[in-house]
Structure 1
Amino acid sequence: MSSDPASIESLHVLYQSDDYIIVDKHWDIRIDSKMWYEKQTVQMQLQHHFPLLADPSTYYGFRSYRCKAASSLFDTTFVYSGRTHQLRVHCSAIGHPIVGDFTYSLGADDSPYRMMLHAYFLHIPLEPQHLLVTAGDPFVPAVDPKWVSQRLLRTLNATIESILEQRKTKEKEREVAKREEERKKKSKQPRVEEQSEEQRRACQEWLSEWAGD
């Protein structure tokens, strides 16, 4: 995405269904804001593009939602004006704010035209089929000539393929562990024949006691 300013129209919808809307927001726009001077937010863009989903009675102006657990992967492969490209709040917490992050650098990092943070790939483990969405790579010399490749560990596509393969392996391992746990539970339960024999013995003992009375 270029350095052009945000507008009410600059909302790139990557995926839309009855349950999800996934967007690639402009880099220079907030998700939401209650400040009167914030004229451009993703909240306002969504209200503009999807008026039927707007609900002023909710905090964010849209109907209720559920959040899923999430994890992030980032790969340091480029530098910008001599500094390493990294990820946000967790990076700031360990003393390494993202390049161009004016807020978390306490106003010191004001050289780049934007904060260098971008979600390239999103994976939502839905059933029966996982949802996979990519947003493209804005950090290329064609968009910003200051981007210079120093050393390429692996391409973005190779990184994504590796992530998906690792997750497939983990899912298979969890499925195997689940089947093994079910097998163990079943092995601890008495077989039907054993239950029937035990019931016959109990019934015979009861009849014998009853006949003796």
Structure 2
Amino acid sequence: MEPGSVENLSIVYQSRDFLVVNKHWDVRIDSKTWRETLTLQKQLRHRFPELADPGTCYGFRFCHQLDFSTSGALCVALNKAAAGSAYRCFKERRVTKAYLALVRGHVQESRITISYAIGRNSTEGRTHTMCIEGTQGCENPKPSLTELVVLEHGLYAGDPVSKVLLQPLTGRTHQLRVHCSALSHPIVGDLTYGQASGQEDQPFRMMLHAFYLRIPTQAECVEACTPDPFVPTLDACWNPHTLVQPLDQLVQILRADRDDPQKVTLWPCSPSTHLPGPGRPPPPPPRPPETEAQRASYLQWLSEWTLEPDN
């Protein structure tokens, strides 16, 4: 796959209020450091100089985040009102997201619900990473839930690998990467949570891609499905040999109930293997009314959405 450049920005959805871009792998969203010669902000300014908002530091408001090493669907709000409507969708957990990944090993279960609680790692040398509850140095673990469906089994550079679809039902930092690693099936190319052996020298990128995104705002439903990057025609190292679940069927399920994303799961009629132990965490308690401090934070978010560089 060609490296990122300021010209090769891919747009998968566009309206008066929103853009959804297919973010290139290993491109940061923005950066305060002079060393970053290419960022998504710079790509957007180059492609859409007329859409840049002078009222923000970087010119564009991002509705959510992707790690710089993750590719795929990323939503950009083009004005303050649109940013507010997207914020409410995320706050009320009405957003649907699904990711594609290549993970190490052949995952034996075809469908898994992963419910390891995730907290910040306080271990020396690992303070910018996350970990699962019960591991040494895990601080303030919070319930986390990911649905996993196996799509294909195959080989990557001769090693056994599975292609999976991941649906995060909570939004913890590095959630998908931590959950896959906790299953002993780390994402191929993940240098932080992957295998310590030389196996990770082969991939040219981390094999995690934001495949599907739906943000049902009051004015419009922002929905985008990006091309699958994990196919042999784009990466000759990937050699699938066994089809487990067709991807197009899962896309139909994701799109089936646009009115109630809380009901959308990747397998509404079939049981899945729950890991670990008891399965899903209990539902969150009702949220108290928004405080003045939270309201002020919300207004600050609208005025300038600034992302810290990834670690």
TM over 0.5: yes
The alpha carbon displacement at 1:106 in A equals 8.3
CA displacement, residues 31-59 of structure 1 (integer Å, 9 cap, x when unaligned): 11112111011011011111122245524
Q: Which residue of 2 aligns with 1:191?
A: none
* Structure (1/2) with the larger helix percentage: 1
Distance in 2 separating the partners of 1:18 and 1:36: 32
Identity %: 38
Q: Provide closer, same or farther for how the CA distance between residues 101 and 56 of structure 1 changes in structure 2, counting only shifts above 3 A.
A: farther
Q: Bigger CA drift: 150-159 or 18-27?
A: 150-159
Matched, 1:72 2:71: no
Which of 235, 239, 257 is the equivalent residue of 1:144?
A: 235
Matched, 1:34 2:32: yes
| Kept after mapping to 1: 8 A contact 2:45/2:52 | yes
| Kept after mapping to 2: 8 A contact 1:31/1:43 | yes
TM-score, normalising length: structure 1: 0.66
- The count of aligned residue pairs is 169
| Kept after mapping to 1: 8 A contact 2:98/2:210 | no
Q: Bigger CA drift: 102-111 or 51-60?
A: 102-111
| Greater RCO, 1 or 2 (C-alpha within 8 Å, sep 6+) | 2
Q: Deviating runs (4+, > 4 A) in structure 1?
A: 85-88, 168-171
What is the correspondence of 1:175-190 to structure 2 with a 5 Å cutoff? none
* Structure (1/2) with the larger strand percentage: 2
Matched, 1:102 2:191: yes
5+ residue gaps, structure 1, are 174-213
Secondary structure of 2:29's counterpart equals: coil
What amino acid does structure 1 have at the position aligned with 2:225?
Answer: T
Q: Provide closer, same or farther for how the CA distance between residues 33 and 106 of structure 1 changes in structure 2, counting only shifts above 3 A.
A: farther
What is the correspondence of 1:38-117 to structure 2 with a 5 Å cutoff? 38-55=36-53, 58-62=56-60, 64=80, 65-66=83-84, 67=87, 68-69=89-90, 70-74=95-99, 75-78=149-152, 79=154, 80=156, 81-85=159-163, 89-94=174-179, 96=181, 97-105=186-194, 109-117=200-208
Distance in 2 separating the partners of 1:38 and 1:129: 34
Q: Provide closer, same or farther for how the CA distance between residues 127 and 151 of structure 1 changes in structure 2, counting only shifts above 3 A.
A: farther
* Greater radius of gyration (CA): 1
Q: Bigger CA drift: 29-38 or 89-98?
A: 89-98
TM-score, normalising length: structure 2: 0.47
Distance in 1 separating the partners of 2:33 and 2:26: 16
Q: Which residue of 2 aligns with 1:210?
A: none
